Amino acid sequence: MAASTYFSVHYAEARGKFLAAAKATGGRLTSHQNPASGPGGEALFTDIARFGPERAERILLIKSGTHGVEGFLGSGIEVGLLESGVLRRLPDGVGVIMLHALNPFGFAWLRRTNESNIDLNRNFVDHARPHPHNRAYEELRNFICPRSWTAGQRQEADERLYAYGSQHGDAALQAAITAGQYVHAEGVFYGGLAPSWSNQVLTRLAGEIAHEARQVAVIDLHSGLGPYGYGEIMNGHAPGLPAFARIEDWFGGEATSYASGDSSSSVLTGDTLTGIERAMPGITLSGVTLEYGTLPLKAMIDAVRADNWLHVHGKLDSPEGRAIKQEIRAAFYPDHDDWKNAAWERGEDVTRRMLKGLAEE
């Protein structure tokens, strides 16, 4: 079967494929309805499917759609793992849990953010403590999202961003924009001031897993950073920790880390793996982000900026709005067979290796 058949055109099709494939594979399903609705008023869900023993000591959690529009990628890989039979023969004592569309709102509306404009991968900070402050974002926010999105206004804004990059370095500019901020609810990469609905769903699931497992591995599926079609295995742990060493052992030189400077990602605050780790103290946890490249970095960030401008200042139901929606969809889901094939092959390989590493621990 061609890998392209695993992928979908819109959220509803993706959910239908996932549910059908999970049922056919003997998955035990639960669904959580999001408080918001889709563009046509349809209900939106985060779906969870469990495979293998009822109570497994070792569990692989695979999750998609943390950044909604990236759900096209994650859903395709999850459906592929089910339809291809990868999960039909699991190692002894190992269970698999698939979470489909952590952010169904963003998936359906073609947004990275959720129903409150929150970036879920910045929402898992300890909200009882003072939130991290991104001073560089404060300096640049009016240029990241100017009031007008005309060519002239964008050029002027870009020149100010380039000037910051020239002075502080490209990595500092990327971090200023993408690391996360907790002040401007309408802005990009906003982390929110309290646990979001999706945060609560994932935290509750992690707590349930912690009651039965002693070892947990996580694959978080993302797109947008790195070379076109390449799946970068980002080590989710800090150097020096046993979990960091485990990921290096399982994946060797293929695993990257922001700490060693070979990752395409900036340092993040409040990512989902942090939240999972907090919800399962005492559990041996090993997590990676599997990140697929799409467009050059500037084009990807510009698509995020354009979508943010559209929802703050623009009109969704306009030629400009529809063009921006197609732009952000393409920035996180290149609808080309070569990209889908590469994504699926890497996803299958990383899953098999993660299962092997988990089984041998």
Over the stretch 82-126, which tens digit does the pLDDT of each residue have? 999 998 889 999 999 999 999 999 999 999 999 999 999 999 999
Q: What contacts 231, CB < 8 A, 6 or more positions away?
A: 290, 291, 292, 342, 343, 346, 347, 350
- Segments in the chain below pLDDT 50: none
pLDDT the model gives residue 88: 86
Spatial separation of the C-alpha atoms in residues 133 and 141, rounded to whole Å: 13
pLDDT the model gives residue 1: 66
Q: What contacts 259, CB < 8 A, 6 or more positions away?
A: 238, 239
* In contact, 122 and 269? CB cutoff 8 Å: yes
Spatial separation of the C-alpha atoms in residues 271 and 36, rounded to whole Å: 22
What CA dihedral angle connects 318, 323, 327 and 330, to 10 degrees?
110
pLDDT the model gives residue 269: 84
What CA dihedral angle connects 343, 246, 357 and 25, to 10 degrees?
-50
pLDDT the model gives residue 12: 98
pLDDT the model gives residue 43: 98
What tokens does 251 get?
């994946």
Spatial separation of the C-alpha atoms in residues 248 and 183, rounded to whole Å: 36
What pTM, to 2 d.p., does this model score? Answer: 0.96
What tokens does 34 get?
């999001």
Task: Report which of 10, 130, 138, 19 is spatially closest to residue 69, judged by C-alpha positions.
Answer: 10
pLDDT the model gives residue 267: 76
Spatial separation of the C-alpha atoms in residues 67 and 61, rounded to whole Å: 17
pLDDT the model gives residue 307: 97
Task: Report which of 100, 87, 83, 26 is spatially closest to residue 60, judged by C-alpha positions.
Answer: 87
* In contact, 234 and 286? CB cutoff 8 Å: no
